[in-house]
Chains A and B, each alone.
Chain A
Amino acid sequence: MSMPAILAENINTYYGRSHILRGVSFTVAPGETVSLLGRNGMGKTTLLRTLAGLLRPASGSVQLNGADVTSARASARSRAGLAIVPEGRGIFPNLTVAENLTFASRANARGDRPWPLERIYALFPRLAERRHHWGNELSGGEQQMLSIGRALMTSPSIVLLDEATEGLAPKLRDEIWATVKQITDSGIAAIIVDKNLNDLLALADRNTIMAKGEIVFDGTSDALRADEALIHRHLGV
């Protein structure tokens, strides 16, 4: 069996004295798409930020493609193949679209060549049209495309998407999901947080629900659809 793209064991993360993640263990196989579900404030973003190295857990371990990265900085995890598309997108407003993209361009730890800009522009033709515009001149949808494109420029083996389609119109949302599907079909693993349950269930190989900092469900989309009480209890649908 191949090594997991990401393996987190018994993670405990605090914000000050608030115990946010309570012994979370979590795994994603290479090329697998996992949705991370749960109401607001249940620890989804905290888990993604902990996996990305932007938050330091008080205890627990994280492995990336078999390598222990528990004490590694976010920059080292990025170079080891993990990319994050954060909530709020994290676009550099004072860099152009092209500069935002080339900023992160590099080969990955496995020696794969960096993604050429043209490949990103093929995936998001709108970014090609806006390549000379500043980051703060883009619409919300374009910023999300740029944030995803920039993550891909790091040649990742796993992408963490936080609030992937937040604030986007339905048509743009569909565009983003279609692109995410292309990305995951190319063999890149993904953990996706979003509020659109039906879209996620259609896209994900596996779904994980978090409640109060713990994982309370882990299973296929069919298994989740079949448990209406669980959906009602934890997702409020």
Chain B
Amino acid sequence: MDLVLIQLLNGIQYGLLIFLAASGLTLVFGIMGVINLSHGSFYMLGAYCALTLTQFTGDIFLSLLLGVPLAFVFGVIIEWLFIRHLYDRDHLQQVLLTFALILIFNEVQKILWGSYPHSVPVPGYLQGGVKISELLSYPYYRIAVAGFCVALALAMMFVIQKTRIGRIIRAGESNREMVEALGIDSRLLFRFVFAAGVALAATAGIVASPLESVYPGIGEPVLIISFVVVVIGGIGSIKGAFLGALLIGVADALGKVYFPTFSSSVVYALMAAVLIARPGGLFGRAA
């Protein structure tokens, strides 16, 4: 029973972390119509950025404060250099260019940080955990990460639902041309959305870095699972990404307990079931 509880908590925490990465992907796909295969690379760069910054700051949360603005600026530069040329191109060209970015970022990572795995320390004040039973405890850091992700999710939903920039983002998701015709420069909107997507992926990579080792290709599984979340939640929907990520996290964790042989297939079975019932995803428009 304790194992199930621990796995359930791990699943929720994993889902919340995946939400951060997937929310950026769903915004970029939903508003800009760009399939960004390099999204996982920004998660990876976030994790490596955390590795380097924590060596200087000594604290993962200070690294987060420095790393997120850096990631946003990096996103602005990447959008200006590469992504803005893709808006009027078909999806194949988007896939080719963003796949090329994966290869470039992987090489850059090898040059700067090498091919060996690294670890990022959990801050001293979050060492240890909450005792669940005689034998098991749940780490404080994982609880802090879950709390951080929930706070960020609530903040994003507030921004999307209640602010002017949120209205513009929602409008852009349904009719980009009309947004431009009503006086909003869509170039700036797209640059902001892409940079925010990069910052969110990097945030996920930074806060995840003390949970697992930081290694080459760390972003690739995150990219795949983020696409699954976007499909389940509905393209462009933050609420959908939140629910989808939680579903995926819990299904993945419980799958490892109850169906260990097929655990890697559980999330894809879930995706297939959602697509059959709701082709547009849980909160998406009907396909």
The residue that A150 contacts in the complex, of B173, B182, B185, with Cβ under 8 A, is: B182
The residue that B181 contacts in the complex, of A86, A94, A99, with Cβ under 8 A, is: A86
- Minimum distance in angstroms from B180 CB to a CB of chain A: 5
A95/B170 in contact, CB under 8 A: yes
Question: Does B175 touch A at the CB level, under 8 Å?
Answer: yes
In the complex, the chain B residue whose C-beta lies closest to that of A104 is B182
Question: Does B91 touch A at the CB level, under 8 Å?
Answer: no
B174/A74 in contact, CB under 8 A: no
In Å, the complex CA distance between A93 and B173 comes to: 10
Question: Does B124 touch A at the CB level, under 8 Å?
Answer: no
Residues of B within 8 A of A79 (CB): 183
**B interface, over-half SS:** helix
Given known contacts A86-B178, A103-B168, A94 and B183 CB-to-CB distance under 8 angstroms: no
A95/B181 in contact, CB under 8 A: no
Residues of A within 8 A of B178 (CB): 86, 90, 92
Question: Does B159 touch A at the CB level, under 8 Å?
Answer: no
Q: Per-residue CB proximity of A95-138 to B under 8 Å, as 1/0?
A: 10001001110100000000000000000000000000000000
A93/B183 in contact, CB under 8 A: no
Residues of B within 8 A of A52 (CB): 181
A74/B180 in contact, CB under 8 A: yes
Question: Does B85 touch A at the CB level, under 8 Å?
Answer: no
In Å, the complex CA distance between A78 and B178 comes to: 11
In Å, the complex CA distance between A103 and B174 comes to: 14
Question: Does B136 touch A at the CB level, under 8 Å?
Answer: no
Residues of B within 8 A of A53 (CB): 181
Question: Does A59 touch B at the CB level, under 8 Å?
Answer: no
Q: Which of B174, B181, B186 has the most CB of A within 10 A?
A: B181
Count residues of A near B (Cβ-Cβ below 8 Å).
24
Question: Does A73 touch B at the CB level, under 8 Å?
Answer: yes
In Å, the complex CA distance between A79 and B177 comes to: 15
B181/A92 in contact, CB under 8 A: no
- Minimum distance in angstroms from B29 CB to a CB of chain A: 16
Residues of B within 8 A of A90 (CB): 175, 177-178, 181
In Å, the complex CA distance between A92 and B180 comes to: 13
In the complex, the chain B residue whose C-beta lies closest to that of A92 is B171
User: How many residue pairs bridge A and B at CB < 8 Å?
Assistant: 58
Interface members, chain B 171-220 (any A CB < 8 Å): 171, 173-175, 177-178, 180-187
In the complex, the chain A residue whose C-beta lies closest to that of B189 is A75
Question: Does A154 touch B at the CB level, under 8 Å?
Answer: yes
In Å, the complex CA distance between A103 and B185 comes to: 13
A94/B174 in contact, CB under 8 A: yes
A94/B177 in contact, CB under 8 A: no
Interface members, chain B 151-170 (any A CB < 8 Å): 167-168, 170
B182/A78 in contact, CB under 8 A: yes
In the complex, the chain A residue whose C-beta lies closest to that of B185 is A75
A103/B181 in contact, CB under 8 A: no
A154/B183 in contact, CB under 8 A: yes
B171/A95 in contact, CB under 8 A: yes
In Å, the complex CA distance between A90 and B174 comes to: 9
Q: Per-residue CB proximity of A60-77 to B under 8 Å, as 1/0?
A: 000000000000011110
Question: Does A54 touch B at the CB level, under 8 Å?
Answer: yes
- Minimum distance in angstroms from B59 CB to a CB of chain A: 40
Question: Does A191 touch B at the CB level, under 8 Å?
Answer: no
Question: Does A84 touch B at the CB level, under 8 Å?
Answer: yes
Q: Which of B171, B177, B186 has the most CB of A within 10 A?
A: B171
Residues of A within 8 A of B181 (CB): 52-54, 74-75, 78, 84, 86, 90
Residues of B within 8 A of A103 (CB): 167-168, 171, 182
In the complex, the chain A residue whose C-beta lies closest to that of B184 is A75
In Å, the complex CA distance between A104 and B175 comes to: 14
Residues of B within 8 A of A74 (CB): 177, 180-181
A75/B175 in contact, CB under 8 A: no
In Å, the complex CA distance between A86 and B173 comes to: 18
In Å, the complex CA distance between A75 and B177 comes to: 10
Residues of B within 8 A of A78 (CB): 180-183
Residues of B within 8 A of A93 (CB): 174
Interface members, chain B 16-58 (any A CB < 8 Å): none
Query: Could you show 16 A-B contacts with beta carbons less than 8 Å apart?
Result: A54-B181, A73-B180, A74-B181, A78-B180, A78-B182, A86-B178, A90-B181, A92-B171, A92-B174, A92-B175, A94-B170, A94-B171, A95-B171, A95-B174, A102-B167, A104-B182
Q: Which A-B residue pairs are the 7 nearest by beta carbons?
A: A78-B183, A90-B178, A104-B182, A92-B171, A75-B185, A74-B180, A79-B183
